[in-house]
């Protein structure tokens, strides 16, 4: 039995297959409409979510399956002190596959050790968000036709942003990907990723504070929200939260074929005036999130269509 806990759990050729199926689902949704009939997905969300929970649920419903679950720790027996291990052992009796989001790093990994059904890490603290990474890879490949030879700017909260950590780990496996790390000093990428992932793989990266210094070089600009929920005090969050705001003036410095991505939710970091720019791809990205999760569910349940 297989789980998805880290973005590295799938090889690049396995990822290619997942993305090929996702693209086929996009083109031929009816072909997959009953693929998961009789199967159940449990969504175990101990932290708030709109996209990740609902896109997993939409994916299972699109495949003809059903969904059950909880959307906050307070509405589950976690509030009475139940452990993740006991929860997943119980949910294994009710569902065929589970997606878990948890504020503690490593909680979905612990769940996978006690589970008798596949577990999908739907985000664990400031650590990883592998299904967002699958979404991001599919979006990049679908928009640009490749995952190699790209210049990507990662902007905002690179310290706590788990989507950025997972995406870097996944992209270093492709040839000639150049990273522009755009953040204030306080929100720099953690050492363990800079040294153990970027340096170790001899990957080009440049750290800049001003977005303007990277924009003209980019194929993709990946904006992120400052992660309020991970700050230790409100004062620091308020000081950092509007450090970057992408607006039409800044977009004028970017190449005409650069795409803007964002895992969402956004707060102020992308002005809504950008939403109608043809380079704004973040809602398209949210749509790709459904196709790739359909493909992932099929794969983890060993269902071939």
Q: How far is it, in rounded angstroms, from Cα 53 to Cα 100?
A: 9
Query: How far is the CA of 219 from the CAs of 150, 177, 178, 225, 260, in angstroms?
Result: 6, 10, 10, 20, 9
Both tokens of 290, joined, read: 């459904």
Nearest approach in angstroms of CB 113 to ligand CP is: 24
Q: Which of 53, 56, 101, 262 is catalytic?
A: 101
Nearer to ligand CP, 43 or 87 (CB): 43
Q: How far is the CB of 93 from ligand CP (least distance, A)?
A: 26
The one catalytic residue among 27, 80, 210, 304? 80
Residue among 117, 27, 7, 12 nearest 305 (CA): 27
Q: Which of residues 222 and 243 has its CB atom nearest to ligand CP in the complex?
A: 222
Of 84 and 99, which CB lies nearer to ligand CP in the complex structure?
99
215 or 263: CB nearest ligand CP: 263
Cβ neighbors of 65 (< 8 A, separation 6 or more) are 36, 37, 38, 39, 40, 41, 96, 297
| Residue 147 C-alpha from the chain's centroid | 16
Q: Tell me which of 129, 162, 165, 194 is the catalytic residue.
A: 129
Given the residues 3, 40, 43, 52, the one annotated as active site: 52
224 counts as catalytic: no
**Choice between 132 and 183, CB closer to ligand CP:** 132
Mark whether 230 is an active-site residue.
no
DSSP annotation of 79: G
Q: Please provide the DSSP assignment of 166-219 as one string.
A: HHHHHHTTSTTEEEEEE--GGGPPPHHHIIIIIITTT--EEEES-GGGTGGG-S
In the complex, least distance from residue 162 CB atom to ligand CP, rounded to whole angstroms: 9
What is residue 254's three-state secondary structure? coil
Catalytic residue check, 163: no
Catalytic-labelled residue, pool 51, 159, 194, 293: 51
Query: At closest approach, how far in Å is the CB of 81 from ligand CP?
Result: 25
Q: How far is the CB of 264 from ligand CP (least distance, A)?
A: 5
Task: Catalog residues that contact ligand CP under the rule CB under 6 A.
Answer: 49-52, 123, 132, 263-265
Catalytic site includes residue 127: no
Taking each helix axis from N to C end, the angle separating 282-300 and 51-62, rounded to the nearest 10 degrees, works out to: 50
Q: Which residues does the annotation mark as catalytic?
A: 51-52, 80, 101, 129
């Amino acid at each position: 039995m297989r789980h998805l806990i880290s973005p590295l759990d799938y090889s690049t050729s396995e990822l290619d297959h997942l993305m090929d199926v996702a693209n086929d689902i996009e083109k031929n949704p009816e072909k997959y409409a009953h693929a998961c009939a009789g199967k159940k997905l449990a969504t175990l969300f101990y932290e708030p979510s709109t996209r990740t929970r609902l896109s997993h649920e939409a994916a299972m419903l699109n495949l003809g399956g059903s969904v059950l679950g909880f959307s906050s720790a307070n509405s589950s027996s976690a509030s009475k002190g139940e452990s993740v291990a006991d929860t997943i052992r119980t949910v294994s009796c009710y569902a065929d596959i589970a997606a878990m989001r948890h504020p503690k790093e490593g909680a979905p990994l612990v769940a996978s050790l006690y589970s008798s059904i596949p577990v999908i890490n739907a985000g664990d603290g400031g650590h990883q968000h592998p299904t967002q990474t699958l979404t991001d890879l599919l979006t990049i490949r679908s928009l640009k036709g490749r995952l190699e030879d790209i210049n990507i700017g990662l902007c905002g909260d690179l310290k706590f942003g788990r989507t950025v950590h997972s995406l870097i780990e996944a992209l270093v496996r492709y040839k000639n990907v150049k990273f522009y790390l755009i953040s204030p000093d306080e929100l720099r990428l953690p050492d363990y990723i800079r040294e153990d992932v970027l340096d170790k793989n001899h990957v080009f990266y440049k750290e800049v504070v001003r977005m303007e210094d990277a924009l003209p070089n980019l194929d993709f600009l990946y904006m992120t929200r400052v992660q309020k929920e991970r700050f230790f005090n409100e004062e620091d969050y308020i000081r950092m939260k509007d450090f970057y705001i992408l607006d039409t003036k800044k977009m004028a410095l970017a190449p005409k074929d650069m795409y803007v991505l964002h895992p969402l939710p956004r707060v102020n970091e992308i002005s809504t005036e950008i939403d109608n720019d043809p380079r704004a791809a973040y809602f398209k990205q949210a749509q790709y999130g459904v196709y790739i999760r359909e493909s992932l569910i099929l794969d983890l349940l060993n269902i071939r269509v």
